[in-house]
Chains A and B, each alone.
Chain A
Amino acid sequence: MKLKLSGAASCTFAAIFALAALLLYHPPRLRAEGGEPRYFAITNARIVPVSGPALENGTVVIANGLIQAVGANVAVPPEAWVIDGKGLTVYPGLIDAGDDLGMPKPEPAPVAARGRGRRGAAPVPEHISMGPEDRPGTSPWRVAADDFNPEDKRIESWRDAGFTTALVLPEEAIIAGQGSLIDLSSERPSQMVVRSHAALRIGMHPTTFGFPDSLMGVISYLRQVTDDTAWYDAAAPAYAAHPNGIERPNIDRTEEIMSLILHRQEIVLFPANDIVEIPRAMRLAQEWNLHAALYGGQQGYALADQIAAKKYHVIVNLKWPEAAKDPDPENIASLRELRFRDRAPGSPAALAKAGVKFAFSSGGIAEPKDILKSVRRATAAGLSSDAALRAFTLDAAEILGVADRLGSIEPGKIANLVVADGDLLGEKTKVKHVFVDGRHFEIHEIAKPHKPGDAGGEKPDDASPQSLDADGEGGR
């Protein structure tokens, strides 16, 4: 739409003004309506498909949301909008395997709890769990995609940094619910969901009141739920077959949904960050027969071989442990804590060396630039940038079971691409274009793709986007 206008040689001042106003209203991206282009070609670019060796000078063709072709000698279809990729590198879009983008903010604790003289004490919940049968902190039927709010401002900043897909997780609880794999593209959640039932999130934190109020209580509860689910699997069909003469078994939503989740081998994100939690998680996941991925993995440096031997996947939390921002000078960290802080960023390198497949989760990092900074700490600690990129793309897709559609630049896969002016994980690199589901997102003041038929490189005349952007700057 915009390009059509900019191509018009003799627009009136009013038209330019109207266009500028439109651009200012939604400055960073094209709107999704109407005649949005469906065909693109990125030519003359360095292409890093991740699934194979890099192409020094190639073309990627995007059609109807998918990658149509990639290679050195690929014909550019006439309907395609062309981006001259000279000096640019094309990567598969990055996958953040665990965050809360678009999730409702956790409710702040009410200040005035019912307690007298107990200001700041945790509020007493209405229902206090008195045992496993009360199903504390349990909502496996919750699906992140259902609560997803595409208006979250962070979505755009994530995308601008090169993230095209996120595993969005429900707020932590014992059985919190199912995370959804979301493409960071449009305005409507229904268009963004790649897989709504992508991974079950479980948590190890006890409840403040009632059962369970200890870690061992949480573990015993989860064990009871897996036992109950197994019971449901036996009881439900038996009753369904011959309801007459059999006492009707309880209907329990938790068992019903957990049965579905476990049968379809949905990934269970098992929190496991340190040298005690990781072996414990592997032992329990095995005991409960879960298709688990270790979620955290920051002390993986000490256990990589054991994780490899048991063939677990790891989703490494990139929020590395660090010193408190304004620490009490009297309170000097223990040697153990200092070692952990020092060595944690070495975990991905150790996991890679041991042959463990891992992905990255931004796990509570607020700014996307800090996510990449965290990864650079991992590469500084010995992780190759190829492996880092894999963890962000194809390995993440494989762990999440969507490698048939995401994670690399191959024909037929979803057109999630990042175009940058250098090594994507480099400090000074700038992301120039992002494609999500084949939709083009420009990253602020950069060159636009050319109109179909235009010879690449030639600037449209006076009403070029650049001049518009310059005019509009005052309003930014």
Chain B
Amino acid sequence: MIRNIIALAALVIFLSSGVARGAGADSNVTLIKNATILTITHGNIEHGSILIRDGKIAEVGTDIKTPDGATVIDASGQYVLPGIIDCHSHIAVSGNVNEGSVAVSSMVNIADVLDSEDPTIYYDLAGGVTVANVLHGSANPIGGQTIVIKLRWGKPSSELPFEGALPGIKFALGENPKWSNYRPPSGVQQRYPATRMGVEETIRQAFTEAKEYKKQWDEYDRRKAAGEANLIPPRRDLKLDPLVEVLEGKRYVHCHSYRADEILMLMRVAKEFGFKVRTFQHVLEGYKVADELAAYGVGASTFSDWWAYKMEAYDAIPYNSALMTERGVVVSVNSDDGEEARHLNQEAAKAIKYGGLSENDALKLVTLNPAIQLGIENRVGSIDIGKDADLVIFNHNPLSVYAVAQKTLIDGTVYFDRDRDIAGRAALESEKKALLEKEKKALEEEKKKAEEKRKADEAKKTEQEKAKPPKDASGDTGGAR
């Protein structure tokens, strides 16, 4: 209910601020009609319509009149789901997704290296994903800064970030940050920490430094405000700035984790230092500490049924998301991977078979719940009036293995259209063929030119030799040598 109030408040803010997107194809009015609408928040609507105006959901119901000039998408026999939200993604990143050289790499920021040209963005769209939480890798107890993006394929990197979404930071516990499964090349010393104890110590140390750093700045600001002259400011430390933001609640902590003991550890450390963990990622043993997670109020973003790929993943069970949901944890299912992201709807469906979640609760795992975890549920995650028109149209119920995404919309704009994609393939093929042909021709031309030049040079040489001393003045004999 609180969520509805928040949504309503957001709607009021939205309406009063008169947000209008720039005129263009995406500012059009669109009507999706004759669809089965899976609203997530208020049940399913058969033969329903969704009216989209200026990128937002304007109306949802069964008898909406088609406004003049509206683009109509007839979705007869099809299903509309809120755009899928992937709470753990590594797509659209230029270069290495880990700054693994140091135990605390909070100075690096995924936002600096967004790659709008990564085709995985488009592949994800083809699986119905509209929002991704793009994370730094898990090589460090405290990793880099992270960012939530909308998969606006074709737009520049600067237009990918989800406006207003709080940025995050990646933490990691267990085998990855202690480099259990990675040996440095010989001659290079293994990076600290090498144990779970060391991982905890690294986090404590970093936050101790961050608090000291904050104190220095507060002291400087106080003295400056008091009018003290000739002050030398503290150095700005890009490693500690984001940790101060964590302490101030301005940045979410998304923590890669496996084992129950380390999950409890981080909650204790966070409490001690006065910050909050927003989500545990993977959290494969979350079912063992579901009550503690629920009491703490942290989100859990897990895999459906992927386990035993390393020691700390041996106790994973496919019932994890259902069990945690039952105990009151907000749970999402994520991909961690550009391929897995293309069928997150099926990953969600597995929680029905393993654990008996309701269909709606299963769908929440990839829509509303990740939205809540990322603090963007006012904007996305369900089909409600005033929310962003981030929608995916499936040809079957998305919980079916036969379901294939047909169209994916973000802010009311169609960013993926299966028919359009298929229709366009021939043209792309022939363009490719033509370009290859052109290159081949140019290469042959060049070879021919080089050959001609070689011959001409040779002829010139011969002539010069002939013209030289009158050793052999045989005149008109056509010997090419």
Pairing of A with B: yes
B-chain residues with CB within 8 Å of residue A238 when the two chains form the complex: 230-232
Does residue B383 face the partner (Cβ distance < 8 Å to A)? no
Alpha-carbon separation in the docked complex, A332 to B96 (Å): 25
Contact mask B428-442 → A, CB, 8 Å, 1/0? 100110011011000
Does residue A109 face the partner (Cβ distance < 8 Å to B)? no
Q: Is the CB of A215 within 8 A of B439?
A: no
B-chain residues with CB within 8 Å of residue A280 when the two chains form the complex: 112-113, 157
Q: Is the CB of A212 within 8 A of B101?
A: yes
Contact mask B383-405 → A, CB, 8 Å, 1/0? 00000000000000000000000
| CB of B158, distance to nearest CB on chain A (Å) | 6
Does residue A459 face the partner (Cβ distance < 8 Å to B)? no
Q: Is the CB of B187 within 8 A of A246?
A: no
B-chain residues with CB within 8 Å of residue A115 when the two chains form the complex: 185-187
Q: Is the CB of B101 within 8 A of A235?
A: no
Does residue A285 face the partner (Cβ distance < 8 Å to B)? no
Counted as pairs of residues, one from A and one from B, with CB atoms less than 8 Å apart, the total is: 143
A-chain residues with CB within 8 Å of residue B235 when the two chains form the complex: 227-228, 231
Q: Is the CB of A239 within 8 A of B238?
A: no
Q: Is the CB of B436 within 8 A of A217?
A: no
Alpha-carbon separation in the docked complex, A246 to B108 (Å): 32
Q: Is the CB of A235 within 8 A of B233?
A: yes
Does residue B27 face the partner (Cβ distance < 8 Å to A)? no
Does residue B378 face the partner (Cβ distance < 8 Å to A)? no
A-chain residues with CB within 8 Å of residue B423 when the two chains form the complex: none
**Residue of B93, B107, B115 touching A224 (CB-CB under 8 A):** B107
Stretch at the interface among A5-13, A23-31, A334-342, A395-403: A334-342
Contact mask B67-101 → A, CB, 8 Å, 1/0? 00000000000000000000000000111111111
Does residue B138 face the partner (Cβ distance < 8 Å to A)? no
Q: Is the CB of A242 within 8 A of B99?
A: no
Known: A113-B187, A276-B94. A132 touches B107 (CB 8 A): yes
**Residue of A129, A213, A338 touching B435 (CB-CB under 8 A):** A338
Alpha-carbon separation in the docked complex, A209 to B100 (Å): 10
Alpha-carbon separation in the docked complex, A420 to B428 (Å): 45
Q: Is the CB of B439 within 8 A of A341?
A: yes
Does residue B188 face the partner (Cβ distance < 8 Å to A)? yes
B-chain residues with CB within 8 Å of residue A276 when the two chains form the complex: 94, 115-117, 157
Q: Is the CB of A338 within 8 A of B436?
A: yes
Known: A276-B117, A338-B436. A213 touches B233 (CB 8 A): no
Alpha-carbon separation in the docked complex, A131 to B105 (Å): 9
Query: Which residues of A, 193-225, contact B by the 8 Å Cβ criterion?
Result: 206, 209-217, 219-221, 223-224
Does residue A279 face the partner (Cβ distance < 8 Å to B)? yes
**Residue of A114, A129, A130, A279 touching B157 (CB-CB under 8 A):** A279
Minimal Cβ-Cβ distance residue in A for B144: A216
Minimal Cβ-Cβ distance residue in B for A284: B112
Known: A115-B187, A242-B230. A211 touches B99 (CB 8 A): yes
Q: Is the CB of B435 within 8 A of A279?
A: no
Does residue B149 face the partner (Cβ distance < 8 Å to A)? no
Q: Is the CB of A213 within 8 A of B100?
A: yes
Does residue B110 face the partner (Cβ distance < 8 Å to A)? yes
Other A-B contacts than A118-B186, A215-B113, A227-B235, 7 sampled, CB-CB below 8 A, are A132-B239, A216-B113, A217-B108, A219-B113, A231-B233, A280-B113, A335-B428
A: residues with CB less than 8 A from B are 113-116, 118, 121, 124, 128-132, 206, 209-217, 219-221, 223-224, 227-228, 230-231, 234-235, 238-239, 241-242, 246-247, 249, 274-276, 279-280, 283-284, 323, 332-333, 335-336, 338-339, 341-342
| Complex A-B, nearest 6 residue pairs according to Cβ-Cβ distance, in ascending order | A215-B95, A214-B96, A124-B187, A114-B187, A338-B435, A211-B101
Cross-chain pairs A/B with CB under 8 angstroms, 28 sampled: A114-B186, A114-B187, A115-B185, A130-B101, A206-B95, A209-B185, A211-B102, A213-B101, A214-B95, A214-B97, A217-B96, A217-B99, A219-B108, A219-B109, A223-B107, A227-B238, A238-B230, A238-B231, A249-B232, A275-B156, A280-B157, A323-B439, A323-B443, A335-B428, A335-B432, A335-B435, A341-B439, A342-B435
B: residues with CB less than 8 A from A are 93-102, 105, 107-110, 112-113, 115-117, 136, 144, 156-158, 185-189, 230-233, 235-236, 238-239, 428, 431-432, 435-436, 438-439, 443
